[in-house]
A and B are shown apart, each in its own frame.
Chain A
Amino acid sequence: MFGISDNDLTALWITLKLAVISTSILMLLSAPLAWWLAHTQRRSKVIIEALVAMPLVLPPTVMGFYLLVLLGPRGAVGGFLEDIGVGHLAFTFTGLVIGSMIYSLPFVVQPLQNAFASAGGRMLETAATLRANPLDRFISVVIPLARRGILTAAVLSFAHTLGEFGMILMIGGNIPGQTQVASIAIYDHVEAMDYASAHSLSLLLVALAFILLMSVYALNRRFKVVGIG
């Protein structure tokens, strides 16, 4: 394409890979949590809700800093991994996946929680009286009813990871081919006064984001972004 180097294409590829992997894992892990939050009567759930919403409020530098401390060789997680001979997670793709999952957590849990809250009730009880087992009830009743919320969660998480910058700057290490994502590559181009390359890659991201969002809207014309919070 116009003036896009192999290195920039690699960065773009890593960005997409990161978005797909972290969104997929996050969706799977968040579903039970969102379900619990949607249906529990316990007062203590406000603590969990507050924790889930934290990444919305915290600057990426705070998360990047603590993740570096946590995942690095002297942190609880990184130190443990060093001890068992796996090696710490700072500057690794796995580290980025973990970071992105924390970073996008509220963007997944909150739409899911809203969707699940409205997907319970009468239909679910009816399915239960018809002897549908819990898994069957979830797959044939809840998922279709919560479809919009699920789609919203996935798209928001994906898009949010695509635009991630500050945290990756701190824990990524900017290794070409491994942890150098598109946003960092663009930043480097700008700092190096290589505006042509910055433009090419930025425009590609703009186009990508637009096509991505538009196809989602086209796929489901009734698709509406469920409000966050």
Chain B
Amino acid sequence: MKNTAQLTTITALCCTILLTPLVAAAELRVASAANFLSTIKELAAQYEDQTGQQIRISSGSSGALYAQISNGAPFDLFFSADVKRAEALVDDGMAYADSRFTYALGIPILWSDREDWLEDPQETLRAGDFRFITIAEPRNAPYGAAAKQILSDLDLWQRFTQEGRIIRAQNLTQAYSHVASGAADLGFLALSQLKDKEGEIPGSFWRPPAELFSPIEQQAVILKRAEDHNAAREFTDWLRGDEARDMIEQAGYAIP
């Protein structure tokens, strides 16, 4: 009896010793839509501090990441900028259906780096006293789709398209560079892009009322090839908690 107990203890100890480094080394591999990159980095750093869990983050456009994951890219979690691609991965059988959740709601804003530009934003737009307005490609980027909706609701989409004033950036980062370089006078960007550490926004901006566009739901899923499914669950559970929600809100998103 005694021997058996000792043996069990020793075996358990050995297993623990052998497995500990493996468990600690199993880092979570996260693929994040570019617009959420800086926020997920902060969240991950916070989570690493609290739990010791290692998290490695890759980013790209949701479309490109979706294509990578479909072709076997080794990620545990995918933070899409939209619902469509998270849903598609579930439909493809590559992600757990019950893991899909909205982690943030995007807030589009119209931005100019000039201070006085947007005192009366709708009037500025109607007057058309500018040359180029940049948006992310509406078909691929949810913020671009929202921008198209907003301009359509204001009866300006048709007109600006015909006048060749609408620049279609590949993504929000490119749209930002268009406005920041002065090449485009105005741009529809994400609030989260422009908020600095102190929560200030340079230049001038307009936050279009929510009734002008459909909500920009950003969804995450756990992928079926996740190495450590429990670790992925724990992280997404933590992201639904108050601390993480506060951080996401601080970063310039609305909370579902």
Contacts and interface: CB of A to CB of B under 8 A. Distances in A.
Interface stretch (B31-39, B160-168, B203-211, B248-256): B160-168
Interface in B25-66: 61, 63-64, 66
Interface stretch (B11-19, B131-139, B215-223): B131-139
Contacts, number: 65
B4 interface: no
A180 B131 CA distance: 18
Contacts of A173: 132, 134, 167-169, 178, 184
B149 interface: no
A10 interface: no
B17 to A, nearest CB: 47
Interface in A81-100: 87-88, 90-91
A10 B174 CA distance: 24
B152 interface: no
A169 B170 contact: yes
A191 B170 CA distance: 9
Contacts of B134: 173
A170 to B, nearest CB: 8
Contact of B132 (A69, A91, A170, A194): A91
Given A191-B137, A192-B63, A174 B168 contact: yes
Interface string A44-69: 00000000000000000000000011
A175 B140 contact: no
Given A87-B131, A188-B139, A191-B137, A72 B167 contact: no
B167 A191 contact: no
B164 A174 contact: no
B63 A191 contact: yes
B140 A192 contact: yes
Contact of A188 (B137, B182, B183): B137
A69 to B, nearest CB: 7
Contacts of B6: none
B140 A191 contact: yes
Nearest to A72: B183
Interface of A: 68-69, 72-74, 78, 87-88, 90-91, 169-170, 173-178, 180, 187-188, 190-194
8 contacts: A68-B183, A72-B182, A74-B181, A90-B132, A91-B183, A173-B132, A193-B66, A193-B88
Which 5 residue pairs are nearest across A and B when measured between Cβ atoms?
A90-B183, A174-B168, A173-B167, A191-B63, A72-B183
